[in-house]
Amino acid sequence: MLLDTRILKRIVDYAEVSEEDTVLEVGCGTGNLTEYLLERCKVIGIEVDREMVKHLKVRFKDKIDEGKFELIQANALKIEFPSFTKFVSNIPYKISSPLTFKLFNHDFELAVVMYQREFAERLCKPEVHPNKLGIIAKMYCKAEILEIVKSSAFKPRPKVESAIVKIVPKAELKVKNRRLFEDFVKFIFSRRRKKLGKVIEEWGKLNGVGIEVPSEIRDKRVEEVNFRVLVDIVNELL
């Protein structure tokens, strides 16, 4: 649970929320972040824990009655997201990857998310820490770490540091087919110890397509290749 009020306020400031916004918050918990968001905008909260939902309904009864706070008891990974303009959340770290992939498939203006620091660095710096999520994210958005949050800001105190990340979707995607591109990247990273030539050809056979692998990357591994080369390979199939 994030208790540091200074950090909670900064998260809301980073998101630049206004009265015109509808913010989606996943993992409301006791409502510490929710409270500051509700001071500025409408909030749709998704919380899976029944006891937390009961608590939130009591704490924010007036906001619910006013229509400023809509609370959904559900697993955020299993429901269709409602329409929203911004995503602002201190999410459960164990669902960071699938929730971020899901977020990429929705239209929004901006997201400010608290992640575990290690995950945030992989998401925001795929050139330094090559990984499938970071490379996919690079094509969909601009992601940057705004600040590192010490474990002392939480109770109970976690064993890891956290990071606040700002995500801004790219206006024009260079990926022609998201599903195909994501499948391709996930596949080659699942075989990252092998040389790309054989891995890409194997993926092509599984998908019933012949792929001309550029000679300059045939003997390289995925960590050694500029991610834009991977995008070009998939785009040329379409």
DSSP 33-100: HHHHHHTTSEEEEEE--HHHHHHHHHHTHHHHHHTSEEEEES-TTTSPPPP-SEEEEE--GGGHHHHH
Mean pLDDT calculated for residue range 69-79:
98
Q: pLDDT tens digit string along 39-62?
A: 999 999 999 999 999 999 999 999
The answer on 201 and 112 residing in a single domain is no
The answer on 151 and 130 residing in a single domain is yes
The two tokens of residue 33 are 């972040």
φ, ψ (nearest 5 deg) of residue 134: -65, -40
The answer on 92 and 55 residing in a single domain is yes
Mean pLDDT calculated for residue range 160-166:
97
Which is nearest to 194 in space by CA: 222, 229, 216?
222
Q: pLDDT tens digit string along 76-98?
A: 999 999 999 999 999 999 999 99
Mean pLDDT calculated for residue range 34-40:
98
CA-CA distance, 158 to 1, in Å (whole number)?
Answer: 10
The answer on 101 and 206 residing in a single domain is no
The answer on 113 and 20 residing in a single domain is yes
The answer on 125 and 198 residing in a single domain is no
CATH number at residue 119: 3.40.50.150
Q: Domain span at residue 77?
A: 5-169
Q: pLDDT tens digit string along 168-191?
A: 998 666 788 888 988 999 999 999
Instruction: Give the predicted TM-score (pTM) of the model.
Output: 0.88
Name 161's Cβ contacts closer than 8 Å, sequence gap at least 6. Answer: 116, 117, 148, 149, 150, 151
The answer on 217 and 104 residing in a single domain is no
CA-CA distance, 158 to 73, in Å (whole number)?
Answer: 25
pLDDT at 178: 84
Domains contained in the chain, number:
2
The answer on 162 and 223 residing in a single domain is no
The two tokens of residue 170 are 């790219």
Q: Residue for token digits 């969909």? A: 140
The answer on 111 and 27 residing in a single domain is yes
pLDDT at 142: 94
- With a cut of 90, say whether residue 13 has pLDDT above it: yes
The answer on 211 and 159 residing in a single domain is no
The two tokens of residue 125 are 């710096």
